[in-house]
Structure 1
Amino acid sequence: MAAVLSRNCATAAPEVTVVPQDFETWERAPDHHRPFDLLLSAQAWHWTDPEVRWSKAKQVLRAGGTLALFWNDWYVSDDDLRHELIAAHEHRLPELPPHSILEKVPRGSVMGPDSWVPRELLADGGFTDLTYLQYPTAHHRSTSGLVDVLSSLSFYRLLPEATREAVLADVAGAVDAYGGSVRLDTRTGLFLARTASGRYPEGNHPSD
């Protein structure tokens, strides 16, 4: 992903610097002293270390800077196709994925004001103006497009290769039988917060 971003920015936005490094251990370059206005995480904040993520966010953001975290939930809108996809998984696996397109309301979703995201944000005490927004959209995926989505999810990536290929082949067969296309109703949940204003007096941010 970093390589793709670097290629896309090479001519369109040459001022963008791409640094492929873990967020928790990243340090700004010695010649970059300004804190950031925005920290954005797309479908990834749950992978960061809970012991470090909030303090690191406050470290890199200016006072009043914005933290924006978002995730997507996908749903197969056609119930008949969804049941076929469930059957394709049950044929190969002892249990279904814990958070997947196979459920009307995915287990483990971070969506909603009572999930671990706002709880941790509020418990930290260093953020304010917590806002939660939802954006519903619909996407049509081809058979290969749906397989690409599933292949990017950790549940499938952690399966033994032979099992993963067999499950995805069964999924592809089920979608092909329904015309080679699937509608995914998508719910995007966005959490916004700001570092507490006045947390650092003007000119006294740790990075200055």
Structure 2
Amino acid sequence: MAVDRKRSVIFGEAVEQYEAARPGYPERLVTDVLDYAPSGPVLEVGAGTGKATAGFAARVSDLTCVEPDPRMAAALTAKCPGVRVVSGTFEEYVPDRPFALLYSAQAWHWVDHDLRWDLACAALAPSGALALFWSHYVPADPELHAALVRLAHRYGVTSQSLHQDEGDRAAEAHRLLAADPRFTGLDRRRYTWTERYDTARFVTLAGTLSAYRILAPDVRERVLGEMGALVGDGLDMTFTTDLVLARRT
């Protein structure tokens, strides 16, 4: 299944907001992925501004990042000057060597669904590791969460928003990998933490999500304004990252 390519690069419209408001990833996740993978060169698919890249770049000497949006790729180069950044889609990318690890943070669903597993196999060395992870974030207060969901639905936002469970994508990836004889050694892990967001950062976070980015600018401004009014002085956000690991046979 082909992906919505226009929507997959829409985040480049909000590079600064994305970098400022999106959460990073737990150090424990980076450790677990690197412990699972053999040593060797590493490939990241859909690196964005480097939210996951920074943690891996601090511990990996040979890291190549593929990023389809040139605006995000430029921000990534500035943030992580020691990594090799390739501007383009993973479908277009031709690996110049086999990789010991391929990881993708919050981006694997943007790779063509009919090609992505073949592409992963082509990029990985035998016994190379595949690490796919997605984050799900919701307000810790269930009443506020429910109010924000109702607001989103009122504006026709029903996916890729603050109420979608990205764990569903991890579960799908795990299921597909389990049925693919080219992969073995499957593992799945979950990481949860809480952060305090002030109102401005929360509204900025919501504005970086694709479901809100595709709204007409005046509509997006209206819904984000109403979000801010609901949040008041700020809120606690619960973050959950689901990780799926596998090895190429």
What range is the shorter-chain TM-score in? 0.7 to 0.9
The equivalent of 1:100 in structure 2 is: 161
Q: Please give the alpha-carbon distance, in whole angstroms, between the structure 1 residues aligned to 2:215 and 2:167.
A: 21
Between Structure 1 and Structure 2, the one with more helix by share is: 2
The equivalent of 1:46 in structure 2 is: 109
Which SS does the other structure have where 2:174 is aligned?
helix
Q: Please give the alpha-carbon distance, in whole angstroms, between the structure 2 residues aligned to 1:69 and 1:111.
A: 10
The equivalent of 1:199 in structure 2 is: none
Residue 26, structure 1, aligned to residue 82, structure 2? no
Instruction: Quote the offset at 1:97 in angstroms.
Output: 2.2
Residue from 118, 130, 138 that aligns with 2:174 = 118
Contact map agreement 1:129 1:193 (CA 8 A) in 2: yes
Which SS does the other structure have where 1:159 is aligned?
coil
Residue 142, structure 1, aligned to residue 198, structure 2? yes
Unmatched 5+ residue regions in structure 2? 1-71
Instruction: Quote the offset at 1:123 in angstroms.
Output: 2.5
Instruction: Quote the offset at 1:167 in angstroms.
Output: 0.2
Residue 133, structure 1, aligned to residue 189, structure 2? yes
The equivalent of 2:208 in structure 1 is: 152
Residue 17, structure 1, aligned to residue 84, structure 2? yes
Q: Please give the alpha-carbon distance, in whole angstroms, between the structure 2 residues aligned to 1:5 and 1:108.
A: 24
Contact map agreement 2:182 2:248 (CA 8 A) in 1: yes
Instruction: Quote the offset at 1:107 in angstroms.
Output: 5.4
Offset from partner CA, 1:56-83 (integer Å, 9 cap, x none):
1011110011100000111211133224
The equivalent of 2:75 in structure 1 is: 4
The share of aligned pairs that are identical, in percent, is 35
Contact map agreement 2:160 2:209 (CA 8 A) in 1: no
Instruction: Quote the offset at 1:23 in angstroms.
Output: 0.3
Question: Could you tell me which amino acid in structure 2 is paired with residue 100 of structure 1?
Answer: S
The equivalent of 2:241 in structure 1 is: 188
Which SS does the other structure have where 1:18 is aligned?
strand
Offset from partner CA, 1:92-141 (integer Å, 9 cap, x none):
52x44235334xxx3574266xx321122122221110100001111111
Question: Could you tell me which amino acid in structure 1 is paired with residue 140 of structure 2?
Answer: S
Instruction: Quote the offset at 1:3 in angstroms.
Output: 1.3
Which SS does the other structure have where 1:22 is aligned?
coil
Q: Please give the alpha-carbon distance, in whole angstroms, between the structure 1 residues aligned to 2:142 and 2:240.
A: 17
When residues 83 and 56 of structure 1 are mapped into structure 2, their CA distance, relative to the original with a 3 A threshold, is: closer
Q: Please give the alpha-carbon distance, in whole angstroms, between the structure 1 residues aligned to 2:169 and 2:114.
A: 21
When residues 108 and 37 of structure 1 are mapped into structure 2, their CA distance, relative to the original with a 3 A threshold, is: closer
- Structure with the greater relative contact order (CA < 8 A, sep ≥ 6): 1 or 2? 1
Number of equivalent positions: 178
| RMSD of aligned Cα (Å) | 1.9
The equivalent of 1:64 in structure 2 is: 127
Unmatched 5+ residue regions in structure 1? 197-208
Instruction: Quote the offset at 1:17 in angstroms.
Output: 1.0
The equivalent of 2:138 in structure 1 is: 75
Residue from 202, 207, 223 that aligns with 1:167 = 223
Which SS does the other structure have where 1:98 is aligned?
coil
Please, what TM-score do these two structures have when normalized by structure 1? 0.78
Q: Please give the alpha-carbon distance, in whole angstroms, between the structure 2 residues aligned to 1:125 and 1:146.
A: 42
Which SS does the other structure have where 2:129 is aligned?
strand
